[in-house]
Amino acid sequence: MLEREGDALVVLHSPEWGRQETPVEWFRVEDPRPYGPYHSVLVWFLRIGKRKRYLWLMPHTGRYLVVEVEGAVVYDSRKDVPCDPPAEKKNPPAEKKKRPSRAKKATEVAGCNQDAVEAAVAE
């Protein structure tokens, strides 16, 4: 666990939002926790003049976090959590088959003429 009180800069790098800098007056990086075959990290921080916040970094989201103190990097989440972006799915999901309507199923069971039933319903 890494904890520090004093001015620092928490920088979140994200493929969606780019680089986001947050000036903080306190931060704590928890020890990595199991997340499937990988690890995740919980980072607490107190923004200057604001409430306490946290970031939960999970693997394969493409995001990583860096904590800088006086321009020097004191923590880089890439050491603990892989940040590779999720792989594109090679096979698109198969289209769902439409189930027959209950009315159609009922007419088939009853032995009714489906066309006559649909025509009567349409009128």
Give me the pLDDT at residue 106, please: 60
- Integer Cα distance of 53 and 11 in angstroms: 14
CB-based contact 27:44 (threshold 8 Å): yes
pLDDT tens for 47-70 read 888 887 877 777 777 888 899 999
The pLDDT of residue 80: 85
Tell me the domain boundaries of the chain: 2-79
Residue 91: predicted pLDDT: 53
Q: Count the helices and strands in the chain (H runs, E runs).
A: 2, 7
Q: Which of 36-40, 61-65, 96-100, 104-108 has the highest mean pLDDT?
A: 61-65
Q: Please check the confidence at residue 34 and state whether its pLDDT lies above 60.
A: yes
Around 5, how many Cα atoms within 13 Å sit in the side-chain half-sphere? Answer: 0
Whole-model pTM: value is 0.62
- Contact status, residue 61 vs residue 85, Cβ threshold 8 Å: yes
